[in-house]
Amino acid sequence: NLVGEAVHPVVISHPLSGRKALYVNPAFTTHFEGWTPMESKPLLDYLYAHASRPEFTCRFEWREGSVAFWDNRATWHFAVNDYHGEKRLMHRITITGGPLQ
């Protein structure tokens, strides 16, 4: 592996619920182990499209006093600049857990 490169399973079991979850994302997943990036691209594109289907999404609209929690082991998230001219104050808390399985 290159410095800074990590290897993770594509499907994990959530440690509390036991439910299976895809563990890939377009920002960090570059290829499958043993496959080239070019070989990996069609399947990764399919998985990204599947995971972002409307029935699997939740749009959180920030309001004064809002609090949001999510589990990075089984959730994609990204910011939408929908607070034009307003200031957001955030505190990030990371809770460690065991290795992904």
pLDDT of residue 38: 98
Instruction: Place 77 in a pLDDT band, splitting at 50, 70 and 90.
Output: confident
- Model pLDDT for residues 13-63, shown as the tens digit of each residue: 988 889 999 899 998 999 999 999 999 999 999 999 998 999 988 888 888
The whole-number average pLDDT for the span 58-71 is: 86
Instruction: Place 97 in a pLDDT band, splitting at 50, 70 and 90.
Output: confident
CA dist 39 and 33 (Å) reads 11
- State how far the alpha carbon of 82 is from the alpha carbons of 30, 56, 62, 71, 91, in Å: 30, 21, 9, 23, 19
Instruction: Place 2 in a pLDDT band, splitting at 50, 70 and 90.
Output: low
> Model pTM?
0.76
DSSP letters of 70-86?
Answer: --TTT--------STT-
Residue 73 CB neighbours (<10 A) = 14
pLDDT of residue 35: 96
